[in-house]
Amino acid sequence: MTPIFTGSNISELDKYTIKNEPIDGTDLVERAASTFVNIFKRKYNKQTKIYVFAGSGNNGADALAIARMLLNDGYIVESYLFNPSNKLSIECEEHKTRLMHCPINRFTMITSTFNPPIIEDNSIIIDGIFGTGLNRQVEGGFAALIKFINSVSATVIAIDIPSGLFSESNMNNNPDTIVKANYTYTFEFPKLAFFFRENEKFIGKWKILPIGLSEKGKREIKTEYFLVEDKDMSAISTERSKFSHKGTFGHSLIIAGSKGMMGAACLSAKAAIKTGLGKLTLHVPSCGYTIAQTVVPEAMCQVDTDELFNTEINLDKDYTTIGVGPGLGNYPEGARMLETLFEKYRKPMVIDADALNIIANNRDLLRKIPKDSILTPHPGELERLTTFSTNSEEQIIQAQNLAYKYNIYVILKGAYSATCMPSGHVTFNSTGNPGMATGGSGDVLFGMLVGLLSCGYNPSTAAIMANYIHGLAGDIYVAKESEESLSASDIIDHIGLAFRQLRD
């Protein structure tokens, strides 16, 4: 998994690389800049007018090196170095000198007043004012510069991170003093701030540019945060033995549905079956019997004595795992049913949707959840389980605390669903698309988690894989059709291709 390091981790790794590899700081900047320029040249032609804004640290050094390389390649580049305190990093000083040696360098160093150029709408701004070395909020002349950049209509490309955005905590930021980039080309690792929805307007679309920082250094520096990518899947997904039989992949129970919400039960059951489980029993209120038997003929049906809601726990078998929640509704007997379930069944289970709301109204139940169970709240459900927060960074901390305190896995669902583990680690999922913001897609994820636990994956692997395959199924569908037309059933229909893509 790709580690997500903090700003201070990155500067540690920078120093480690320079100390332990045959490369100095100036050449590391050269390498970073040329990686950026290679990508840039593929996208923009030489007629594009480019404005480079550089600061006094190594983000500025990158910017000046990029300006020089683009000039040498025949682009029209105007560069501004902002140096109000007359102090440049060694690398920035060196790359300033190299740029000034270009025959037509169009370079200006600003130490006090800045008269902004007129920037045409179809030009490009390269933002290299501050990177991971930002150490305080931006004020004064730099704030005015950032406001100027944000006021023009040109395309803005941030080097490493938009200037003014901290690599991690941004809770007290002034949004007016952060560059709003269209694209961010970030070196070696994504920054934690990229995974917070509030920051999308600053970061735009982002891409990782590998610059060969020390692999040994990366292993030695500890982080709690990781990004899950394609390459991680082959290591954790296992092949089925030739001699498998349906018992090999478990017999699991899903307790879901109520009058008017049988769709949630059916979607989750279908997703569990498509994810490889051996046998499934679906427990539904009696009004749902015909629906369940018709829509999901592969599942056995256990019928509650209540017509409208699920009120009973019937452990007639030693189920491999149990999933509870989709479409349960909110009803008085719900809490009692969950309490009985948690008392009678002590293996890891999957808890979603209305089961989470019932727990939120009866918080004593949290302590009773079997160890290593997986909870799948979206931000609204998390808020009910914890406290109100609209800040996504704070929400991740809340999910982490919940996971740690109750020894459970908490998947905070969203664009980069975050799996918070009892150990404190958090993995962000990289697949999926905005088409998945549609009713029922959470029920599909829930079913996939039941399916993978049933197949014998441990909860940590099941959580990582279910999110990845769920998003990948959505992406495969969108590659053929469109985000707008994606429905939860389309995700189910593409689980098969997603598994195949993992193995290709």
DSSP 66-81: HHHHHHHTT-EEEEEE
Residue 440 binds which of ligand NPW, ligand ADP, K ion, none (CB < 5-8 A, kind-dependent)? ligand ADP
Among 18, 64, 70, 134, binds ligand NPW (CB under 6 A): 134
Binding residues for (6S)-NADPHX: 58-62, 131-137, 160, 264, 327, 378, 443
Interaction mask 406-435, ligand ADP, x per CB under 6 A: -------xxx-x--------------xxx-
* Residue 439 touching ligand ADP (CB under 6 A): yes
Contacted by 439, from K ion, ligand NPW, ligand ADP, none: CB < 5 to 8 Å by type: ligand ADP
> What is the separation of C-alpha 361 from the centre of its chain, rounded to a whole number of angstroms?
29
Please count the residues of this chain forming the interface with ligand NPW, following the rule CB under 6 A.
32
Q: Which residue, 149 or 399, is less far from ligand NPW as judged by CB?
A: 149
The half-sphere exposure of 320 on its side-chain side, counting CA atoms within 13 A, is 24
Kindly state the smallest distance separating residue 164's Cβ from ligand NPW, in Å: 7
> What does each C-alpha distance from 209 to 14, 34, 36 come to in angstroms?
15, 10, 7
Report in angstroms how near the CB of residue 452 gets to ligand ADP at its nearest: 14
Q: Residue ranges for the binding site?
A: 58-62, 127, 131-137, 160, 163, 264, 327, 378, 413-417, 442-443
Residue partners of 385: CB distance under 8 A and separation at least 6: 356, 359, 360, 363, 366, 375, 377, 402
Structure tokens at 188: 């070696």
188 touches ligand ADP by CB under 6 A: no
Q: Say which amino acid occupies 161.
A: I
Instruction: Tell me the CA distances in angstroms from 36 to 251, 268, 270, 390, 488, one per residue in order.
Output: 52, 44, 45, 35, 38
Alpha helix (H) residue ranges in 315-378:
333-344, 353-361, 365-368
Q: Looking at beta carbons, which pairs linking 41-44 to residues 24 or more positions away fall under 8 Å?
A: 41/73, 44/124
Among 2, 9, 26, 56, binds ligand NPW (CB under 6 A): 56
CB of 230 to ligand NPW, least distance (A): 23
Minimum Å gap between C-beta 107 and ligand NPW is: 18
In the region spanning residues 138 to 177, those forming contacts with ligand ADP, defined by CB under 6 A, are none
117-156: contacts with K ion (CB under 5 A)? 127
Q: Looking at residues 440 to 459 of the shown chain, list those that interact with ligand ADP (rule: CB under 6 A).
A: 440-443, 445
Binding segment for ligand ADP among 13-21, 119-127, 300-308, 438-446 (CB under 6 A)?
438-446
Sheet of 183-187, strand order: 107-110, 76-82, 49-54, 124-128, 155-159, 183-187, 205-209
Asked if 32 touches ligand NPW (CB under 6 A), the answer is: yes
In the complex, minimum distance from the CB of residue 415 to ligand NPW, in angstroms, rounded to a whole number: 24
421 Cβ neighbours under 8 A, 6+ residues apart: 403, 409, 427, 460, 463
- Residues 152-191 interacting with K ion (rule: CB under 5 A): 158-159, 163
Q: In whole angstroms, how far apart are CA 292 and each of 46, 308, 351, 453, 490? A: 62, 14, 20, 22, 19
DSSP three-state, residue 496: helix
The closest of 155, 163, 183, 191 to 39, measured between CA atoms, is: 183
Binding site for ligand ADP (CB under 6 A): 378, 413-415, 417, 432-434, 436-437, 439-443, 445, 470-471
Binding site for ligand NPW (CB under 6 A): 10-11, 13-14, 28-29, 32, 55-62, 89, 130-138, 142, 159-160, 187-188, 211, 213
Binding site for K ion (CB under 5 A): 59, 127, 158-159, 163
